[in-house]
Homo-oligomer: A and B are copies of this chain.
Amino acid sequence: MPGDGFGQAFRVTTFGESHGPALGAIVEGCPPGLPLAEADLQIDLDRRRPGTGRHVSQRREADRVRIVSGVYEGRTTGTAIGLLVANEDPRSSDYRALAEVFRPGHADYTTFMKYGRRDPRGGGRASARETVMRVAAGAIARRLLETLAGVRIAGWLAELGPWRHEGPPPERTPENAFFVPDEAACPLLDAHLEEVRRARDSVGARVGVCARGVPAGWGDPVFDKLDALVAHALMSIGAVKAVEIGDGAAVVRQRGSEHRDPLTPAGFASNHAGGILGGISSGQDIVAHLAFKPTSSIPQEIATLDVRGAATTVAVCGRHDPCVGVRGVPVAEAMLALVLADAFLRQRAQCAGIAPPLGPFAPP
């Protein structure tokens, strides 16, 4: 019932605060025999890492992951996989000044009201640092999906400031500092974030994720629709305020004649649905978008309360991203991987012996 875990057949449970000694995760349900090394996880962790770009938080963390159980002689054993990452550069003193006030837009006030107390160092459990373990566990899910199901996941930055990605999802995650499909946009984005930072402000972003190779049939028809699980997973990332599947919010202004995707012997003729119909994957690309809010950690003063309820003001200095959405790309990929790994194993549980009555579509 507590919410530190995600998934049912493939399940990750995490612990760890921003300024504690370590972050950790337990990954349960991973099929045995999967080749898995720490380096497989490190790739994704390095992409998420703070301190790797000009515009991301300047906290220095190596984020070296250790696999402490569940892998023997380079392959998963099928038993619980334990993961650990040490916190090396917490600088808790940065936060001493903030222990007595609630930073607006953060979880400070709500955490305090929920539990009657809180660990104020770096946001405690509510820190973006919590996503380290999502990415580490997601990397295992990704491996599983690639190896056993031929599923590949890509994320990208879809909108930031004046720039917006037009065109289809990229084949793989773009390898540039902004994860933008068109590398030529990088200088523009760089200049924009510099301007935002100079304005002592922050900015939101839109991120896209896509899974290719998911066969028709994953997901469930009622409460655990595949899109509902994707929404749960993506909305659980800090700072996300909207999740859209396929055409998303634009469907409000569509007609049925426009939205429904025709079926042909060569496959679907379009993908307005985003690869999910009635909660079950259709065999098309699964496409989702997330909206990241602008971080509230900016050096402008704002009215707030202190922990005794008295009016005061606060300005959040320190090491902060002007756009948390950029680093959100690998986190969104990880969450999509966790949902799909779980859906894959759940489908095996119920339908392992069922041959799909129709073969894959003929190429057009």
Contacts and interface: CB of A to CB of B under 8 A. Distances in A.
B1 A273 contact: no
A21 B70 CA distance: 11
Contacts of A318: none
Given A110-B282, A345-B349, A264 B354 contact: no
A82 B22 contact: yes
19 contacts: A8-B8, A17-B70, A20-B68, A72-B117, A72-B119, A110-B276, A114-B351, A116-B351, A117-B357, A126-B221, A148-B353, A231-B243, A241-B249, A249-B249, A251-B292, A256-B295, A257-B302, A258-B294, A305-B358
* Copies of this chain, count: 4
Interface stretch (A38-46, A98-106, A172-180, A182-190): A98-106
Nearest to A245: B241
B105 A260 contact: yes
Interface string A197-213: 00101111110000000
Contacts of A105: 256, 259-261, 273, 277
A296 interface: yes
Nearest to A347: B114
A169 to B, nearest CB: 16
Which of A32, A81, A116, A196 has the most CB atoms of chain B within a 10 A radius of its CB?
A116
